[in-house]
Amino acid sequence: MSGAGGRDYLAIPGPSVMPDAVLRAMHRAAPNIYAGELPDMMPSLIEGLKKVARTDHFATIYIGNGHAAWEAALSNIVREGDTVLGVINGHFGRGWARVAEGLGVNVIPLDCGLKAPAQGEALEAALRADKEGKIKAVLCTHVDTSTSVKNDIATLRAAIDAAGHSALLAVDCIASLGCDRFEMDAWGVDVMVAASQKGLMVPPGLGFVFFSDKAAAVRNCMDRVSHYWDWGPRSAPEALWQYFAGTAPTHHLYGLQASLEMIHSEGMEAVWARHEKLAGAIWAACETWGQGGPLTLNVPEPAHRSTAVTSLHIGKTIGTRLRQWTEGEAGLTLGIGLGMGNEEDPMADGYFRIGHMGYVNPQMIMGALGSIEAGLAALQVPRGSGALDAAAQALA
């Protein structure tokens, strides 16, 4: 048996599956970047992005990946010698903190472990301890893709307000945007970063930075911002090149236009509800398998889990062998365990992740779960029975 007889499913947490409509939109000759369709479509693309982020404020596009969006956001709000607080629930929270450190910014870590969201009380206490008001921003992942922990952003905003602190709230939605409910303005988020290759279903290559009026004012008080990262001209351009500080990412923009059309014709509420339902099916199957064997969901409390990605533990080497089996035999590529290695399992061979972000529907999820069931059977891994039934019930 091999996956070669049909379409493969790349079920890793980014890059995600690209819809045919996105691929078709990108398959075209090079467009004129000075006049016509491309410059004309920019205002509606920016509006479409703002609608996904649920903000009426500013949206900017960078040619780059999520790491670029991290650096872009920081470059506009902090300078060397400043201090930020980094909420850490996994590899990506740590990653953004490292980017800040690379810019000469001091990071006070708020380590929340790998299985649960940040507590409002802990953030409030950390901010109250900052008597001199040194902390310029709180950096936080909405979803940490390594652990699949989802932070409650409204609670963190409330904690900042309760502490009476002026720090900006900066949120990484690279994994969650277009998957997990996110309300930038209603939740009081000042800066939000995202990228094209996850919930937005476009190839890697675009980073997005959204920001509030308060963040814009902070930028305007900076002595200088590097020309490329500066969000000023990008958010108020007079010509197409200013959106991108150079040549536009022409084909990515066509792909993005197609993906935004798909998202908004489905509707944000429906997109979130779909992800929730599909995630519920995955969790139901995983919980059932776990009743008779070693599989466990990394995040015990369902309300703390992302609906875009699920991190699992199954025991040393089984995780890696299962991934190899499903990829080689079933055309299903699962995500590696990231940031989960410890002394006992330095290569995180006991972990894997299921990416269920963006362009996913019930038959893909049931196919993925059925393939995992087959892999567990082939590897003779003990497991509870009835996992696929449980998943079907969750979808019914």
Ligand X SMILES: *Cc1c(COP(=O)(O)O)cnc(C)c1O
Binding stretches for ligand X (CB under 6 A): 14, 65-67, 92, 141, 143, 145, 172, 174-175, 195, 204
In the complex, least distance from residue 26 CB atom to ligand X, rounded to whole angstroms: 18
The answer to whether residues 112 and 87 touch, using CB atoms and an 8 Å cutoff, is yes
Q: Which is nearer to ligand X, 22 or 174 (CB)?
A: 174
Phi, psi dihedral angles at 226 (to 5 degrees): -60, 145
Residue type at 276 in one-letter notation: E
Phi, psi dihedral angles at 335 (to 5 degrees): -80, 150
Q: Which is nearer to ligand X, 95 or 290 (CB)?
A: 95
Angle between helices 362-378 and 318-330 (to 10 degrees): 120
Those residues with Cβ within 8 angstroms of residue 266's Cβ, 6 or more apart along the chain or in another chain? 274
Q: Which is nearer to ligand X, 193 or 388 (CB)?
A: 193
Question: What are the Cα distances from residue 95, in Å, to 56, 109, 172, 240, 304?
Answer: 28, 12, 11, 32, 21
In the complex, least distance from residue 90 CB atom to ligand X, rounded to whole angstroms: 9
Q: Which is nearer to ligand X, 147 or 371 (CB)?
A: 147
In the complex, least distance from residue 195 CB atom to ligand X, rounded to whole angstroms: 5
| Bridge partners, residue 208, by sequence | 61, 194
Q: Which is nearer to ligand X, 143 or 163 (CB)?
A: 143
The answer to whether residues 140 and 170 touch, using CB atoms and an 8 Å cutoff, is yes
In the complex, least distance from residue 207 CB atom to ligand X, rounded to whole angstroms: 7
In the complex, least distance from residue 184 CB atom to ligand X, rounded to whole angstroms: 16
The answer to whether residues 286 and 293 touch, using CB atoms and an 8 Å cutoff, is no
Q: Which residue is nearest to ligand X (CB)?
A: 66
The answer to whether residues 99 and 74 touch, using CB atoms and an 8 Å cutoff, is yes
